[in-house]
Amino acid sequence: MSANASTVPNNVHPSLNDRDVVFIDGVRTPFGKAGENGIYHGTRADDLAVKAVRGLLERNPEVPAEKIDEISIAATTQTGDQGLTLGRTVGLLSGIPKSVPGFAIDRMCAGAMTAVTATAGGIAFGAYDIVVAGGVEHMGNHPMGAGADPNPRFLSEKIVDPQALNMGNTAENLHDRFPAITKERTDRYAVTSQNKLSKAYENQQIQPDLIPVAAKRPGEGWKVNTADEPPRPGTTMESLSDLRTPFRAHGRVSAGNAAGLNDGATAALLSSGQAARELGLQPKMRMVSFAFAGVEPDVMGYGPVPATEKALAKAGLSVDDIGLFEINEAFAVQVLSFLDFYGIDQDDDRVNRYGGAIAVGHPLASSGVRLMTQLARQFSEDHSVRYGITTMCIGLGMGGTVIWENPNHADFGSKA
């Protein structure tokens, strides 16, 4: 593509550089509960991803499908209807021209986040101008770890603590490491997450980015799903106090203060600054930096801390510059360990304004783009915020963080 200043549409921010990576739009399916009683029981995983991609392109008709340079779709369990190089198969099933290539990503919970950062690198390098990146996880069809065969050396050579292979155990380990994070605190955080999501639904802040999905459950008729299934509005501290702690007797992690098992898909459209100008696309965010980091697998929930430290250093920013935090709530203790590290109160208004995965669900590899989509909408609502982050812990001891800039801020594009 070639850029010509005289043809730049008025609605595209003039401070964009040609190789800036910008988030144009993001969507997702409503998230469902995994299992026989879930809304997507009987629905294929790849069909969920197709719904998200088709919905994304229908919302952005100014982007010709043949101009897409790459499709990257993530899944944690890449077998069956989540296998066969998802980026390519989803592209073909979505009706995108066969000339558009695609590939699959696996970084467990950070699959969609990695799909975004991997293709963003291609945009920054000049290999791509427009990409579609996202993820899907049908945990009803593919329980986490199903069919996996961990190398026996992990245990025999003590490379990985046995507890690291169960995410709930790693959350209990975080409680051990940080005794100030009590079950009372995590339950209180979980109640707040449910309340925030309910309020966001009341304010129509979630629905605009949901793509309706028609699904037929075995033995039942068709239904168009337009809302998330996992939320438990009206959750109270009392209702959480009696839940069992399945990972440890008298433990602290329960179904109430952790994300559930879920099905769902996400998709995002990213472009170069150059392509945004040529096509008249209005960016919702600009990527500032990203980083991934490793931690001991048996405390995998701590991964967002070193990942955020790396991303902030790469951006030349401090945590005080961040006006919004979208933190994936795999477990409440994981979020609180991050907030405590930075001295941020768990009720701080900058944190997960719409609630998080404890309420809305966490279909593993799809969740990274959900965080981005919610941050983008918050940017559009709050022009006083310049920088925000999306961050998440990752199974087997990793964390990932992406820092974004708000194009609605008065200083957008200027040096920090």
- Asked if 112 and 367 touch (Cβ cutoff 8 Å), the reply is yes
- The set of long-range contacts for 315-319, using a CB threshold of 8 Å and a minimum separation of 24, is 315/288, 315/289, 315/403, 315/416, 316/416, 317/288, 317/387, 317/403, 317/416, 319/344
Q: Which of 41, 138, 142, 362 is catalytic?
A: 362
Q: Which of 109, 138, 142, 175 is catalytic?
A: 109
185's tokens? 């605190």
Is 263 strand, coil or helix? Answer: strand
Q: How far is CA 232 from CA 205, 239, 246, 256, 321, in A?
A: 18, 11, 20, 9, 33
User: Where does 276-413 show beta strands of DSSP type E?
Assistant: 285-294, 322-327, 387-394, 398-405
Q: Is 362 a catalytic residue?
A: yes
Q: Is 393 a catalytic residue?
A: yes
Q: What is the DSSP letter of 351?
A: B
145 exposed, middle or buried (CB, 10 Å; 0-12, 13-18, 19+)? middle
Tell me which residue has tokens 């558009």: 100
**Cα 317 versus chain centre, distance:** 22
Distance (Å, whole) CA 114 – CA 134: 9
Q: Is 250 a catalytic residue?
A: no
Exposure string (b/e) for 247-268, b if CB count within 10 Å is 16 or more? bbeebbbbbbbbbbbbbbbbbb
Tell me which residue has tokens 């999306």: 390
Q: Which of 13, 142, 175, 393 is catalytic?
A: 393
154's tokens? 């992990």
Catalytic sites, residue numbers: 109, 362, 393
